[in-house]
Amino acid sequence: MAVLTIQEVSAHNSESDCWIAIHGKVYNVTSFLKDHPGGKRILLKVAGTDASKEFEKFHSAAVLPKFGPSLYVADLASIFPVAKKEASNAIFTNAPGLGLFGDGAPFAQPAWYQDTFSPYYKDSHRRLRNWVRQWIAENRWADKSDAWEEVVRSNRKPDEEAFTSMGIAGLTRGITGRIAWKKQPYPNIPDLPCGIAEDEFDYFHCLILWDELSATPLISVNNSQPYGIVPVMRFAKPALRERVVPKILRGEETMAIAITEPGAGSDVSNISATATLSEDGKHFIINGEKKWITNGVWADWLMTAVRTGGPGAGGITLLLVPRGPGLTTRPMETMGGILSGTAFVTFDNVKCPVENVLGEVNNGFKALLSNFNHERWTIIVSAVRNARRCYSEALHYAHRRQTFGKNLIDHPIIRDKFAQMVRQIESTATWLESATYQLNNMRPEIIPERMGATLALLKVQATKTFEFCAREAAQIMGGIAVTKGGTGGTVEKLYRGVRASAIAGGSEEVMGDFGMRQSLKVAKAMGVKL
């Protein structure tokens, strides 16, 4: 490893030969001058010097790991031998085995990552958390977001690796949750990630995967598989199930859920796309439109709700429709979540084999309802993580940016903004863990009725928390949070995703009303006198 003194670095101080030292490392930024988002002049001003202090002011912690390796020249020799500081946190440290994991900034990670006790997480959870974080970092998934967005914007499917990497690593299976634990009926599906045994895998493992992967573009492009595949596993005929499920779980094919229509959203029972039996009785012929279909742009299969009977919930059937003649998916430009590949879908005399009915004809509504809880739970997990990401981005920035002679964090009004974010994030996260514990322990057959209300109300809480944190983070960060890319780019992007999170899977208003109706219904059924 080469080591240079600051005198040696100082010779490289021109536009044609520009070196800069930052945090003990020397970088050759000559070819980077023209690409530097902050401009070349500012770099030339500090050419040949140690610019650590200036660098700290303007960059997030993600910049050097990303750009540094290609610009690195040598280590910087220290003028004074630096006495290694012994970790001085011993007096505050909790029991061995807990410890800080990830960003140690207070509340920037779930509480159990931050050296606190928890009744919920065991060694296998810690192992999975460590493994998935490392898998994300090693493969640099978070950095692929912009490139994949470009691809999706031009109406194309992201690279196959976006799907197969999740499949091979057992992550598509992992985020599908409980029903995908059991390998038995599907011999060709990947093992669960990180060697977790099937009977060991629980909702907290699933939570960890959704939580960690939410900070990458992988979740957006694979969003529908875990919801779409569950009705296939539960209600498809064995031949269809065995043909479709392994390919989806390996990431070789993808699916979307086609329920919402231009005139039917949260009021699902109003759908009007029709399916009629062909004369020979072998196919359903589908006609109609579906709108806002997540991952619809590239899905190979559409788990589609169609009207086969009379009006209302009673006349709905679920069909697993393969992409084929008459089926068109037109990309829709949405406010955020470009990577979701949202589509407007038209069915023009699309033929779907009768063997592809999921469950019973005219009884699809029940199957649909049973799926909503998992979908809402995953939206909650992602919303809490995204709220934390907003908080964390702003917290770090507030330690770098100076206003009126001091860092933002030193202004009481700014600290109060962080306090308001934290109390909402932590209470929501704690409620989420309590709900997840119920999912782990409750008899599966009573989960839809018993957990419906909790998850609906928790979804409202989570998306409102996310919205609040996105707003407050943007207020703290100011102009850079309304600018795409750069230091504030993460908050800008997350902010645009807030509405989809608050509307998809049941709007806040519908969830609030449903949550109360459902909890009262269950209480009455349990004999509670109100």
User: Which residues in this chain contact ligand HEM in the complex, by CB under 6 A?
Assistant: 20, 22, 27, 29, 36-38, 42-43, 46, 51, 54-55, 58-60, 63, 67, 71, 480, 486-487
DSSP β-bridge partners for residue 18:
13
Question: Would you say 58 or 120 has its CB closer to ligand HEM?
Answer: 58
Cα gap 53→51, rounded to integer Å: 6
Question: Would you say 59 or 241 has its CB closer to ligand HEM?
Answer: 59
Rounded to the nearest whole angstrom, what is the least distance from the CB of residue 129 to ligand HEM in the complex? Answer: 26
Q: What does the DSSP assignment read for 88-104? A: --TTT--STT--B-S--
Cα gap 494→18, rounded to integer Å: 36
Question: Would you say 433 or 492 has its CB closer to ligand HEM?
Answer: 492
Neighbours of 266 (CB within 10 A): 15
Q: Are 463 and 387 in contact (CB under 8 A)?
A: no
Rounded to the nearest whole angstrom, what is the least distance from the CB of residue 252 to ligand HEM in the complex? Answer: 35
Rounded to the nearest whole angstrom, what is the least distance from the CB of residue 466 to ligand HEM in the complex? Answer: 22
Rg of the chain taking only CA atoms, in angstroms: 26
Q: Are 125 and 205 in contact (CB under 8 A)?
A: yes
Question: Would you say 29 or 258 has its CB closer to ligand HEM?
Answer: 29
Q: Are 249 and 167 in contact (CB under 8 A)?
A: yes
Query: According to DSSP H, which parts of 356-399 are helical?
Result: 364-398
Q: Are 514 and 506 in contact (CB under 8 A)?
A: yes
Question: Would you say 153 or 484 has its CB closer to ligand HEM?
Answer: 484
Question: Would you say 143 or 355 has its CB closer to ligand HEM?
Answer: 143
Question: Would you say 68 or 326 has its CB closer to ligand HEM?
Answer: 68
Structure-block tokens of residue 166: 């999740």
Rounded to the nearest whole angstrom, what is the least distance from the CB of residue 483 to ligand HEM in the complex? Answer: 7
Cα gap 228→475, rounded to integer Å: 38
Rounded to the nearest whole angstrom, what is the least distance from the CB of residue 492 to ligand HEM in the complex? Answer: 11
Structure-block tokens of residue 448: 């839809």
Phi-psi region of 361 (alpha: psi -120 to 50; beta: other; left: phi over 0): beta
Rounded to the nearest whole angstrom, what is the least distance from the CB of residue 215 to ligand HEM in the complex? Answer: 16
Rounded to the nearest whole angstrom, what is the least distance from the CB of residue 58 to ligand HEM in the complex? Answer: 4
SS3 of residue 342 by DSSP: coil
**Distances in Å between the alpha carbon of 263 and those of 64, 318, 320, 329, 506?**
49, 18, 22, 18, 15
Rounded to the nearest whole angstrom, what is the least distance from the CB of residue 480 to ligand HEM in the complex? Answer: 5
DSSP β-bridge partners for residue 353:
283
Place of tokens 């033929």: 351
Place of tokens 């001058």: 33
Question: Would you say 45 or 521 has its CB closer to ligand HEM?
Answer: 45
Rounded to the nearest whole angstrom, what is the least distance from the CB of residue 420 to ligand HEM in the complex? Answer: 25
Question: Would you say 73 or 503 has its CB closer to ligand HEM?
Answer: 73
Q: Are 183 and 189 in contact (CB under 8 A)?
A: yes
SS3 of residue 386 by DSSP: helix
Cα gap 218→382, rounded to integer Å: 12
Question: Would you say 9 or 271 has its CB closer to ligand HEM?
Answer: 9
Question: Would you say 55 or 298 has its CB closer to ligand HEM?
Answer: 55
Rounded to the nearest whole angstrom, what is the least distance from the CB of residue 407 to ligand HEM in the complex? Answer: 16
Rounded to the nearest whole angstrom, what is the least distance from the CB of residue 67 to ligand HEM in the complex? Answer: 4
Number of residue whose CB is nearest ligand HEM: 38
Question: Would you say 63 or 98 has its CB closer to ligand HEM?
Answer: 63
Rounded to the nearest whole angstrom, what is the least distance from the CB of residue 159 to ligand HEM in the complex? Answer: 23
The long-range contacts involving 232-241, CB below 8 angstroms and separated by at least 24 positions, are: 232/303, 232/320, 232/358, 233/179, 233/180, 234/179, 234/359, 234/367, 234/370, 235/318, 235/358, 235/359, 235/367, 236/320, 236/356, 236/358, 237/355, 238/185, 239/355, 240/320, 240/355, 240/356, 241/185
Cα gap 305→273, rounded to integer Å: 8
